[in-house]
Amino acid sequence: MSEFHHPSGGALLGCLLILSRFHEMPISAETAVSGLPLVEGNLTPSIFGRAAKRAGLASRISSTRLNQLNENLFPAILILKEDKACVLNSINSEKNTAEIIYPELSDTVVTVSLQELNNQYSGSVIYARPQFRFDNRASEINKVKDRHWFWGVIGENRRLYRDIIIAAVMINLFAVAMPLFVMNVYDRVVPNHATDTLWVLSAGIFTVLTADLVLRMMRSWFVDLGASRADVKLSASIMERILGMQMANRPASAGSFAANVQSFESIRSFMGSLTIVALVDLPFVLLFMGIIAIIGWPLVLPIVVGAILVLIYALSAQSKMHQLSETSMRAGAMRNSTLIESLSNLETVKSFGAESRIQNIWEKTTIFLTRTSAQMRLLSASISNGAQWTQHTVAVSIIIIGVYMIVEGNLSQGGLIAAYLLSSRAMAPISQAAGLLAQYHHASTAMQSLNELMDRPVERPEGKSWTSRPTIQGDIEFKHVNFRYPDDERLAINDMSFKIKSGEHVAILGKNGSGKTTLEKLILGLYAPESGSVLVDGVDLRQIDPAELRHQVGYVPQDISMFFGTLKENIVIGCPQAEDHQILKAANLSGLAPFINAHPAGFDMQVGERGQLLSGGQRQSIAIARALINDPPILLMDEPTGSLDHSSEEQFKHNLSRFSKGKTLLVITHRSSLLTLVDRIIVIDGGRIVADGPKANVMEALRQGRIGSAS
């Protein structure tokens, strides 16, 4: 029997791993859930489908009784009570038993009675089957295009939009009822004093008006429902894309990039607006014009002329609207970039008296943005107001023509009123469509910006399979690696080759800008080499899932980032399922324990935004605790004691020397005191290795000046 254990990630993740092995599509836990919004570190039914997709499985949640499960889709995942789950292999109706696998017992099959299982069953089951994938032999000519990130999600709600269109059709058909009611009252009821007919007509029109009210309410609800459903999926998709973006493709300005992402609001408001229903109403303009023509064909002429004028003016303004929309978005992104940058560096701005420069940039950008926005609003208002003026003019023209037709005996008074009412219904969709064009350009520009974002390469592209490496020994090798940062002509790493054995402790020395930190970023897989290869345990990093790799690397960066929340949340940020004993051990090793024990709130103390409530040394200790909490086999530390006082540094060195036994340790430092932790030194200058050997030999060569200065 397998050893009993509680899988990190929750019972559902354990079940997913069992299913992936059953279907011969094994996946690691880190690969399955990396970047997903876990709840207290656990996979939930609502996001199970996204994790299953990474394993090449298509899944569906169904509410079904235990005796009505589809045995053709076994094995399936049963969601049990108390946030538990199991894999159901089979049901034996004759013996009244079922074969199940609990994730805690790995692949051990357990036979339980159906009654016992039914008592635990919550009523929901997850079916998961392998997705069919085309291989490279499939014809490229007939290759199916990948689903668009936006329109694909909208297409998922096509049944909802079908109902919206049906409701719009019915509403437009009901719109004919009121003019016909008025026409019959004036032409038949009033002259003949037919009050009985009046009541029959009134009952009919009241029924139509009630149905119209219900349909309008339903249409509004469906439009909002469709928009909200799409918003949830699209927002999640955009954020997942941002977080999964390759570092080489990250934007130059975080503020500008954030503004472009926020432009999704304009797309959401456009798709969620009832104004877009005007597009569905447009074909019914012909219906209303046809009825008016039946009443009196000359009355159609003002509508035709008015519609042509509105459309000509609206279309002529499109080029300018598009230009202003793009300019406005760029200016808004620039202003947002200034705001984010100044807030992030407010202390520096104040310390060096840079308020004037920042204020100057802000005001110039605001003035330009205000002027551009004013031009857009004026042009948009001219289209909307012009359409409204045309609509009223058309109505007046119809009355004038209608009066002459009444005088000549070619039209009744009721017919004129009906034609007047129908003219407003005929022109309204045209006016709304013209006004919609302004909103469309905001959404169109935002869509272009987001399309560019969604097309950027990500670390873990969909469809790419990874070979799981659940345990890394710690061998690291560089083979003729060349690397340069984006938009930088200079090579940061130049034809670098070296090998570090598992368990070896190495110091990386060199001048500022020599490539020391870049070396660690390449080991973490944050960047890919331009040429050559980086290997861990003899395997090229490009074959290893980045999430699985980083889970087994303890990294202390040079620039330490904190997040708003508690001290505990910042320590376990990369390991949310960490247990209390792991957190306490990491706090002791990093030297945080005395500080935490002395504080009234302990681990629940707030660190503030960017850790502003902590000292530099405390932030560095938290970064060290983050690196050690998962007990990783590889430790990468970039100036780990740069902000620590002497006593804290000595305590950390003592703790690390014990903790790092048997682990691969790389230390980047300018402090000679940390060299007591290592046995080997690599000296880098200009992206090249200028010295590599035992600590004593390299230190002696440095003292004698036989190697370029490393400090």
Cβ distance 479 to 535 under 8 Å? yes
All CATH 1.20.1560.10 domain ranges in the chain, comma separated: 151-454
pLDDT at 710 over 50: no
Give residue 256's pLDDT. Answer: 66
Sign, Cα dihedral of 17, 23, 27, 31: negative
Integer angstrom CA distances of residue 277 from 152, 163, 199, 212, 690: 20, 12, 34, 15, 69
- DSSP lists the bridge partners of residue 606 as 566
Specify the range with the lowest mean pLDDT, choosing from 41-45, 93-97, 266-270, 664-668. Answer: 266-270
**CATH 3.40.50.150 is the classification of domain 476-703:** no
Q: What is the layout of strands, in order, in the sheet containing 57-63?
A: 57-63, 121-130, 76-80, 84-92, 97-101, 109-113
Give residue 438's pLDDT. Answer: 63
Give 169-205 as a DSSP string.
HHHHHHTTHHHHHHHHIIIIIHHHT-HHHHHHHHHHH
Give residue 273's pLDDT. Answer: 60
d(Cα 478, Cα 456) in Å, to the nearest integer?
27
Tell whether omega for the bond before 529 is within 30 degrees of 0, i.e. cis: no
Q: Are strands 493-500 and 476-483 parallel, antiparallel or unpaired?
A: antiparallel
Average pLDDT over the chain, rounded to an integer: 84
Q: In the numeric block, which tokens belong to residue 383?
A: 């289209």
Task: Please classify residue 587 by burial: count the beta carbons closer than 10 Å to its beta carbon, then call 0-12 exposed, 13-18 middle and 19+ buried.
Answer: buried
All CATH 3.90.70.10 domain ranges in the chain, comma separated: 10-130
Give residue 634's pLDDT. Answer: 92
d(Cα 701, Cα 705) in Å, to the nearest integer?
6
Which CATH code is given to the segment(s) 151-454? 1.20.1560.10
The answer for residues whose C-beta is within 8 angstroms of residue 283's C-beta and 6 or more apart is none
Which residue did the predictor score with more confidence, 431 or 112?
112
What does the pLDDT average to over 184-195? 85
Confidence of residue 483 (pLDDT cuts 50, 70, 90): very high
Q: In the numeric block, which tokens belong to residue 586?
A: 């990491």
Q: What are the φ/ψ torsions at residue 552 (nearest 5 degrees)?
A: -110, 15
Q: Where are the alpha helices (DSSP H) in 408-506?
A: 413-454
pLDDT at 206 over 60: yes
Model confidence pLDDT, tens digit, residues 351-387: 888 888 888 888 888 899 888 888 888 888 888 888 8
Model confidence pLDDT, tens digit, residues 10-26: 889 889 989 988 888 88
All CATH 3.40.50.300 domain ranges in the chain, comma separated: 476-703
Confidence of residue 3 (pLDDT cuts 50, 70, 90): very low
Q: pTM value?
A: 0.74
pLDDT at 505 over 90: yes
Cβ distance 667 to 674 under 8 Å? yes
Which residue did the predictor score with more confidence, 689 or 318?
689
Which residue did the predictor score with more confidence, 480 or 246?
480
pLDDT at 7 over 60: no
d(Cα 345, Cα 354) in Å, to the nearest integer?
10
Q: In the numeric block, which tokens belong to residue 96?
A: 């009244």
CATH class, domain 10-130, is alpha beta
Integer angstrom CA distances of residue 323 from 225, 365, 440, 445: 32, 17, 13, 10
What does the pLDDT average to over 613-626? 88
Model confidence pLDDT, tens digit, residues 109-154: 889 998 888 888 888 899 998 876 665 555 555 555 567 777 777 7
Confidence of residue 255 (pLDDT cuts 50, 70, 90): low
